[in-house]
Structure 1
Amino acid sequence: MLIDSHVNLHAPQFDEDREAVIERARAAGVGLMVNICDRVSNFPAVRQVANHPDIWATVGTHPHEAKENPDLAAKTLTDLAADPRVVGIGECGLDFHYDLSPRDVQAKVFRVHCAAARATGLPLVVHTREADQSMGDILEEEHARGAFRILMHCYTSGPELAARAAALGAWFSVSGIATFKAAEDVREAVRAMPADRILVETDCPYLAPVPYRGRRNEPAYLPHVLAKLAEIRGWTLDEADQRTEDAFFAVFDKIARP
């Protein structure tokens, strides 16, 4: 069963044909999807999509949006996470490339998400870009306060952060970036990921894989990501499918395996 571990189906890019996109995903063999929250204020829209029985949700605030609620409380996240369709905390983290929120606010809000993951037992869906040292430091410091599961979403950072996260038991997800011609560094990172802790995702509507690069991405394109993962790791398609499925249910263990 194909599983898209990171979709943004509540995004306005899907307002005209959301149901058709979901049907195309199913037709392509995608059996489960996790709709990712970009900011707490947008949670109702995120959750609405998860009314579909094969779509789940997370709750959290992306580092770009951290400035919207710099005093976010862990209790706000844990209360929303009590919803039976919520299976993760995030997307949260640090983005020092765009710096759309002040770095100190990003770090503060990220630590709140770590606390919520620790309190709920739900996995933390982590976004990180050009913040390797700070990300590694925060993850290690917060993990030392009490363990929680970590999913490094759409991993494109360096080998040192990957090693630090892997030492904490982190899972990693591979996106369409792995298919991009110039992304050899990402493919090298994929080769080094723990074989039993790799998931696949589209991050739709962003990062459409080759041969759809430049178009709006959608979950129906996930087979291209899985095929590239299999190629990079030297796995058969069936093996890649089974390994990523097993990894998904290990990290998102609130979802009952069919």
Structure 2
Amino acid sequence: MFAVIKTGGKQYKVASGDMLRIERIAADAGETVLFNEVLMLGGDSPQIGAPMIEDAGVEAEVVDQIKGEKVIHFVKRRRKHSSKRTKGHRQKLTLIRIGDILSTGAGKSKSKTAIGTGSVSASVVAAMEERYAMNKADQAEMAKRVVAGEAKAKSAKPAKAEKADAPAEAAAPAKEEKAAPKKAKKADKSGDDLTQISGVGPVIVGKLNGEGVTTFAQIAAWSEADVDAIEEKLSFKGRVGREDWIAQAKELAKG
């Protein structure tokens, strides 16, 4: 079984018994620390965190506090001052031996949490551990509230559905009442559908109705004088004869 842990801004794939050099943590040689930022657990039943795996951890024994290899940083400036500067650096590291990999129950482990660097004081480490424990407690409390809220919402849904049905039933008669006048209006409507005459659209029908022409029989009975008068009033001279409205009206009047 292996685990992928995060510490010091880096990720490490570890297995039980591995020796590892990591960024310095606040712990003395011989102490057992717990890495609780576990991103992945491998083995027969692998787990992948989102981003961390809940209640998982990796215990490790601090072997020693060491320093890495010296890195030389040399700078030479030829222009202006022709200066040279050499700086050396040795990264502070912690040598650890990986112990148990805990897929669950890391929260109950008595090992102290691996935190920070060697420059962190013991009081700061204790405060950070306390804050971590408080955050865990807050998360558990929040989860309980969410579950309780979901249960309450489920129980309230049937009541809301019943309330929603009542207005719908009350609204149904009102719709029927509104529909009744429409039917009555259609029954009262008289005259023929003049748009059946080729060349007559809704606009022309409106103009004809304004002149009192509403039926095919009226158009079929037009004389030349009537045609001239209608064309003059409605400003479409020659259209009645060109589109043969009278002949069409006679055919439509027959039914």
TM superposition score category, shorter chain reference: under 0.3
Bigger radius of gyration, 1 or 2? Answer: 2
Whose strand fraction is larger, Structure 1's or Structure 2's?
Answer: 2
Name which structure has the greater RCO, CA cutoff 8 Å, separation 6+: 1
| TM score, norm. by length of structure 1 | 0.18
TM-score normalised to the size of structure 2? 0.18
